């Protein structure tokens, strides 16, 4: 079994942005001007309730198993903002303080 096949079997998505811990994450001030576009992207990818954390992370609700739609949103939002946009789902403790995007 190839790595790609193994990843697919386990639900991993090979479209994850090639970011590292050294890459800079977009701030809330950099993400906020693109709110309308990111909200529309969330809808386009089947995600709902987009919100913004104070550190610039976008929080969404996903009914989809896995993180495919969340990853696609991160890639598309990063292209619009010009910096890596971190996107998480609302089923984690770190999503609690997010505000409407």
Which domains does the chain possess?
24-100 (3.30.460.10)
| pTM for the full predicted model | 0.75
Parts of the chain with a pLDDT under 50: 1, 3, 6-7, 10, 12, 15, 21
pLDDT at 12: 47
pLDDT at residue number 99: 86
Can you give the pLDDT at residue 5? Answer: 53
**Short-list 45, 11, 29, CA closest to 81:** 29
Which pLDDT does position 93 carry in this prediction?
Answer: 76
């Amino acid at each position: 079994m190839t790595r790609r096949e193994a990843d697919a079997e386990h639900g991993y998505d090979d479209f994850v942005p090639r970011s590292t811990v050294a890459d800079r994450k977009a701030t809330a001030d950099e993400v906020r001007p693109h709110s309308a576009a990111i909200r529309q992207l969330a809808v386009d990818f089947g995600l709902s309730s987009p919100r913004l954390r104070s550190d610039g992370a976008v929080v969404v609700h996903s009914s989809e198993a896995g993180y495919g739609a969340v990853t696609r949103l991160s890639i598309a939002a990063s292209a619009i903002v010009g910096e890596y946009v971190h996107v998480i789902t609302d089923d984690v403790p770190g999503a609690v303080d997010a505000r409407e995007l």
